[in-house]
Amino acid sequence: MDKLEAYRKKRSPDKTPEPFISSSSNREILYFVIQKHAATALHYDFRLEIDGVMPSWAIPKGPTLDPAHKRLAMQTEDHPLDYRFFEGVIPKGQYGGGPVMIWDSGTYHAQVEREDHTLETIKDKKEGQKAMLEGLKRGELKFALNGKKVKGSFALIKTKGFPPGKKNAWLLIKHRDKHIQEGFDAADLDFSAVSGLSMKQIKENFG
């Protein structure tokens, strides 16, 4: 089964600069990226490397380091690993047309809950991916992010019947740890973690 079939059906390589391959895997490291995306509606795309692709979730309000606020995350199609390098503008009229910023990026580790309800961080990539694949099927992912803007332990939990009629709805939840920041708002950090450009500058430079 081609995990990128849904991705490719929505895009044409001769019409968009988006990547179409997964060539950038590392034998020991799992990557994540969060991309600020001004398509029909502004949102943040959260992508985790799992088994050669990047399962993705669209988060309308963006991630937060404030555990008091859960974030709705709508699962979308898997993306190629090379998408974590993409910053630019998807042409108008194409799927997801608009500027895309690498809002944050870095590495992550899968986590599993012990019997005493504490979290164990899995350092081995193979074992980590196994835990994440099982979590995807179960609808419950736990992981620790090491990015430039977001750090620490999180959970993605698939919801049941909320919002009504939405089968792919999850909640992104920040666990309490040393990285929490009350009142954290992704909108306050409108600059690329890679280029330093704002969304307006990306639109002007790549449009």
- 140: enclosing H helix or E strand: strand 140-147
Q: Supply the pLDDT for residue 102.
A: 98
pLDDT at 66: 98
SS3 126: helix
Per-residue model confidence (pLDDT) at position 164: 66
How confident is the model at residue 78, as a pLDDT? 97
Q: Which of 122, 130, 189, 116 has the alpha carbon at shortest distance from 153?
A: 122
Cβ(54)–Cβ(78) under 8 Å? yes
pTM: 0.95
Token digits for 167?
């089968």
Residue 22's SS3 state is coil
* pLDDT by residue, tens only, the chain of 207 residues: 689 999 999 999 999 999 998 887 788 999 999 999 999 999 999 999 999 999 999 999 999 999 999 999 999 999 999 999 999 999 999 999 999 999 999 999 999 998 888 899 999 999 999 999 999 999 999 999 999 999 999 999 999 866 666 789 999 999 999 999 999 999 999 999 999 999 999 999 986
The domain limits of the chain are: 5-206
Q: Which two tokens stand for residue 153?
A: 């332990």
Give the phi and the psi of residue 49 in degrees, each rounded to 5. -70, 120
Q: Give me the pLDDT at residue 22, please.
A: 85
Q: Is 138 helix (H, G, I), strand (E, B) or coil?
A: helix
pLDDT of residue 1: 64
* Phi, psi torsion values for 18, nearest 5 degrees: -65, 145
Per-residue pLDDT, 34: 98
Phi then psi for 41, rounded to 5 degrees? -130, 145
| pLDDT given at position 103 | 98
Say how far apart CA 147 and CA 194 lie, in whole Å: 11
| Tokens 């502004």, residue located | 42
Q: Which two tokens stand for residue 116?
A: 């005493």
Question: Tell me, what DSSP letter sits at residue 137?
Answer: H
What Rg value do the Cα atoms of the chain yield, rounded? 16
